Amino acid sequence: MTIAIYPGSFDPITDGHLDVAIRAAKLFERLIIGVYDAPDKPLLFTTEERVELVRQAIVNLPNVEVKSFTGLTIDFARKVKAQAMVRGLRMGADFEREFDLAMMNKKLSPELELVCLMANQEYQFLSSSLLKEAARLGGNIDNFVPKHVATALRRKVHSKM
């Protein structure tokens, strides 16, 4: 069975993330979305909240599951017996960062293949950071995230004000 991981902080999951997951689910027999527990950036949602938001977003994808992880992504990949890691690329800056990560991961885990999926044009600009900023400032975020995520994001940013 071909298993791939799709790691990220998903704070929160966006339609761009979901698009990559849907496309990756067609390429692999099993896709595990890995929600990173402790990234080096401030998070709006707890790990448990992020996992639940992703679970609700992928409910119609039978070969996709969600797990949280800590530590090195390659260790998570080994733990779940993944052969590939999926990443989404939006623009040139993403490519440079992903290239550096890929080279390091290849040295640390030569058996793990990297599969990069280009973001669909409609999601080229979309990031969780921009989305959170728009929500904080009262912007309409409904076209960028699943409905349950928009509701959770509005509730979260208003509780922080």
List, by residue number, the catalytic residues.
17, 41, 90, 128
Distant-in-sequence contacts of 89-94, Cβ < 8 A, 24+ apart: 89/116, 89/117, 89/118, 89/119, 90/16, 90/119, 90/123, 90/124, 90/125, 90/126, 90/127, 91/124
Does some domain include residue 33?
yes
In a domain, 15, yes or no: yes
70 in a domain, yes or no?
yes
pLDDT digits (tens, 9 = 90+) for 114-153: 999 998 999 888 889 899 999 999 999 999 999 999 999 9
Residue with tokens 């409905």: 147
In a domain, 154, yes or no: no
Q: Is residue 92 part of a domain?
A: yes
| Each residue's pLDDT tens digit, 8-20 | 999 999 999 999 9
| 13/149 Cα distance (integer angstroms) | 7
Q: Is residue 53 part of a domain?
A: yes
Give the model confidence (pLDDT) of 99-116 as tens digits. Answer: 888 889 889 899 999 999
pLDDT of 97 reads: 80
Residue 152 lies in a domain: no
Structural domain span for residue 12: 3-124
The verdict on residue 107 lying in a domain is yes
User: What CATH number did the domain enclosing 114 receive?
Assistant: 3.40.50.620
Identify the pLDDT of residue 11.
96
**In this predicted model, what pLDDT tens digit does every residue of 71-102 receive, in sequence order?**
999 999 999 999 999 999 887 667 788 888 88
Q: Domain count of the chain?
A: 1
Structure-derived torsion over alpha carbons of residues 142, 31, 101, 8, reported in degrees to the nearest 10: 40
